Amino acid sequence: DIDDVGHRYHLELVLEDILDKDSTVNCTAEVLYHLGNKNIAPDVQFTIEGELKNTDEADNIFYNRIKSLEKELVAENIPDSHGNVSPEMEPIRLLAWVASGYVIWQNSTENTKFQLAQIKHVKQVKRSDEYLEFDYIVLLHEMVSQEIIPWQMTVLWHPQHGVQVTQDSRHPKHA
Amino acid sequence: MKILLVFAALVAAACGEQLFVGDQVLRITASNEEQIALLRVLGEQVELQLDFWRHPTSPGHPTDLRVPFPSLQAVKIFLESNSISYSIMIEDVQELLDEEKKSMMTSRRIERSTSMFDFASYHTIDEIYDWMDMLVDDHPSLVSKIQIGQSYENRPLYVLKFSTGGSNRPAIWLDTGIHSREWITQAIGIWTTNKIAKEYGRDPSVTAILDSMDIFFEIVTNPDGYAFTHSSNRMWRKTRSINAGSHCIGVDPNRNWDAGFGGYGSSSNPCSETYRGPYAHSEREVKAIVDFIRGHGNVKSVISIHSYSQMLLFPYGYKTAPAPNHQELNELAKKAVSDLAAVYGTKYTYGSTIDTIYMADGTTIDWAYDNGVKYSFTFELRDTGHYGFLLPSSQIIPTATETWPALLDIMVHVLEHPY
């Protein structure tokens, strides 16, 4: 408890590579939830003890594949109802997962627990520069209220420059 | 001919048999026209009840003749005395028919038997209801299907009853699928009920349990919701009841029970996923279970299965005060979770609902507990959010396999601690 400021948490966690369960890295973090104003994202400071795996090869394969598509990529319902994700869509799913991490951070309070539930719709936006751009509508599941919240996010990605969420907003719920 | 008449009389004396026991099929080869003519005449003896499968046509071409057992001697003597060559093609027609019938039954069974059901995929409500009938068919002395009520949209609410006899034995209640989007749970329900049926008489624990207790298992606890997740919205959680004065549909069936009903752990807004309903037990799906358990009067454990979060929870969710036997429930949960982890390393947390997950009022297990059911647990199955409700079907069997020892731990404890 920090008077007039908020609540600070000290965390010790282990990061696990979802593509390689045996690859783990320790991490410490400080999270500060601001008192009162719920519109400010919590402050996060972290230190990673060690190195994250190099993914250049897989990144470049994905990058080149998308760059060379004749028509812009469009897809829906990833995973599908049965939890299936086609191999070609797996990187699209992982990208959404990372990007939604940012959205979740920006919208979290001490009383929320968000997870990415599903990609409802994803559409590639052709760009003249070297970046890949995807326009996602995702469903976020909030654990405490159990609500499923549609969320729009515009995601930029480049193998060397990483992920950026340039625009995001709560998406109006359709009937 | 005289001989034939004698035997014809014998045949007439024998009463009409519909079976073909001892009947033979002879392959006869007539060597000239005279023998062909003889065979035709033979066939005209109605009393012999001969049945040509291949009629006598011309010399050298086989004549196939089914001869009823009573006429066998007569026909063979006739053929031999006229030097008409023959061989026995079928020694016993009935035996052949029996073999064929058996093999047809086997192949039909293979299509219909529970051992060929695809446990590793998610199924529609009709497929599940059909499978339940197959399970009952395959284990008629152990499993029966009962209907405890109807859903809002008038779907039957079916419960599988496992019983080896007795009268109103102490019972264990399990339910899956109360929240329709939690598909892994209905899938676990199918696998687990199949497992229970298979293991009776083989696994000592299952056998001990069912020798003294009954098990009631409701697999599709929220059929309207489940149908909706297939037809329209995979993320549907609640029932499908219409809410007066609102365009929003459905009540959270796990906030609708009369235990701490109406507190902060549920919502008064019909549009909310945790809407408690207009009053406790307003939902037919909930009322049916309430009536069943109350009416039964001897239910000793309620295990309600949900996903996701990988947790094993016990009362209370509606208040922070520990349950009277908190210590015992905590120890049992600890053991169950440890045995679950031993299978594939899947880690569960455990504790009271309010301590472990969040405040929730009007829940199934709190109601059961407050109504005398000492051993009430909620499972939150895989995973912890990576796939969430959309758990890949490849994880169905691993999830079922690891959860099984945990369920058994609870059921064995209930058996060994009668009250």
- Which of A79, A83, A115 has the CB atom closest to B385's CB atom? A115
Q: Can you tell me the distance from the alpha carbon of B261 to that of B364, in angstroms, rounded to the nearest whole number?
A: 11
Residue-range domain boundaries for chain B:
24-91, 121-416
- Is the pLDDT assigned to residue B407 strictly greater than 90? yes
What pLDDT was estimated at residue B104?
Answer: 60
Rounded Cα distance between A139 and A142, Å, is 10
Q: Which pLDDT belongs to residue B233?
A: 97
- Closest to B387 (Cβ–Cβ): which among A83, A139, A147? A83
The reply to whether A36 and A89 lie within a common domain is: no
Same domain, A151 and A113: yes
Does residue A97 share a domain with residue A158?
Answer: yes
User: Which of B28, B83, B84, B23 is closest to B56 using CA atoms?
Assistant: B28
Q: Examine the domain organization and report whether A122 and A163 are in the same domain.
A: yes
Can you tell me the distance from the alpha carbon of B300 to that of B170, in angstroms, rounded to the nearest whole number? 6
pLDDT at A72: 96
Average pLDDT, chain A: 93
Interface test with B, best of A17, A104, A146 (most B CBs within 10 A): A146
Task: Please tell me the least confidently modeled range out of B56-65, B235-244, B308-317, B347-356.
Answer: B56-65
B46 pLDDT tier (thresholds 50, 70, 90): confident
What are the tens digits of pLDDT across the range A103-152? 999 999 999 999 999 999 999 999 999 999 999 999 999 999 999 999 99
**What whole-number distance in Å separates Cα of residue A73 and Cα of residue A71?**
6
Predicted confidence (pLDDT) at residue A67 exceeds the cutoff of 50: yes
Say yes or no: A127 and A84 in one domain: yes
Q: Is the pTM of this model over 0.90?
A: no
Q: Which residue of B122, B267, B274 is in closest CB contact with A82?
A: B122
**B273 touching chain A per CB within 8 A:** yes
Closest approach of A55 to chain B, Cα-based (Å): 20
Confidence check: pLDDT of B109 > 70:
no
Are A42 and A64 contained in the same domain? Answer: no
Residue of chain B nearest A148, judged by CA positions: B235
Q: Quick one: pLDDT band at residue A171, thresholds 50, 70, 90? A: confident
**With 80 as the cut, is the pLDDT of residue A101 above it?**
yes
| B385 at interface of A, judged by CB pairs closer than 8 A | yes
- In this prediction, what percent of chain A has a pLDDT beyond 70? 96
Instruction: Report the pLDDT value the prediction gives residue B111, as an integer from 0 to 100.
Output: 46
What pLDDT was estimated at residue B58?
A: 85
- Stretch A44-62: mean pLDDT, rounded? 92
Contact of B390 with chain A, judged by CB distance below 8 Å, is answered with yes
Is A18 in contact with B385 (Cβ distance < 8 A)?
A: no
Pick A85 or A3 by higher pLDDT: A85
State which fold the B24-91 domain adopts: Alpha-Beta Plaits (3.30.70)
| CA–CA gap between residue B279 and residue B26 (Å, rounded) | 80
pLDDT interval class at B379 (50, 70, 90): very high
Asked if B94 reaches chain A (Cβ–Cβ under 8 Å), the answer is no
- A94 CA to chain B: closest CA distance, Å? 10
Catalytic status, residue B380: yes
pLDDT higher than 50, residue B17 = no
Burial of B138 (0-12, 13-18, 19+ CB in 10 A): middle
Q: Which amino acid is at B415?
A: L
**Local confidence band at B103 (pLDDT 50, 70, 90 cut-offs):** low
What mean pLDDT value characterizes chain B? 92
B235, B392, B395 ranked by CB distance to A148: nearest: B235
The CATH number assigned to the domain with range B121-416 reads: 3.40.630.10
CA distance linking residue A16 with residue B358, whole number of Å:
26
In the prediction, which pLDDT does A175 show? Answer: 40
Cβ–Cβ contact A84 with B under 8 A: yes
Which residues, in sequence order, are CB contacts of B82 under 8 Å at separation 6+? B35, B38
> Is A139 close to B235, i.e. CB distance below 8 A?
yes
Cis peptide before B223 (omega within 30 of 0): no
Percent of chain A surpassing pLDDT 90: 82
Q: How many domains does chain A divide into?
A: 2
Predicted confidence band at A52 (pLDDT cuts at 50, 70, 90)?
Answer: confident
Are residue A69 and residue A118 in the same domain, yes or no? yes
Give the residue from A84, A83, A13 showing the smallest Cα distance to A50.
A13
- Domain CATH code at residue A79: 3.10.450.10
Are A92 and A164 found together in one domain? Answer: yes
Same domain, A122 and A36: no
Min mean pLDDT across A80-89, A158-167, B76-85, B305-314 is at: B76-85
Question: Which of residues 44 through 83 in chain A touch B, CB cutoff 8 A?
Answer: 79-83
Same-domain pairing of A63 and A40: no
Query: Does A146 contact chain B (CB < 8 Å)?
Result: yes
Is pLDDT at B14 greater than 60 in this prediction?
Answer: no
Amino acid at B209: I
Whether A20 and A43 share a structural domain: yes
The pLDDT, as a whole number, for residue B16 is 44
Shared-domain flag, residues A129 and A145: yes
Beta-bridge partners for B66: B25, B51
Which of the pair, B113 or B141, is modelled with greater confidence? B141
Alpha carbon of A167: minimum distance to chain B alpha carbons (Å): 23
- Six-digit token pair at B348? 């569960």
Residue range B253-269, pLDDT digits in tens:
999 999 999 999 999 99
- Domain around A161: 54-174
Task: Count the helices and strands in chain A (H runs, E runs).
Answer: 2, 8
Position B110 scores a pLDDT of 47
Q: Is the CB of residue A89 less than 8 Å away from at least one CB of chain B?
A: no
Residues of B in contact with A79 (CB under 8 A): 387, 390, 392
Which amino acid belongs to residue B353? T
User: How far is Cα B227 from Cα B300, in angstroms, rounded to an integer?
Assistant: 31
Question: Containing H/E element for A63?
Answer: helix A56-67
Considering the candidates B283, B285, B380, B402, report the single residue annotated as catalytic: B380
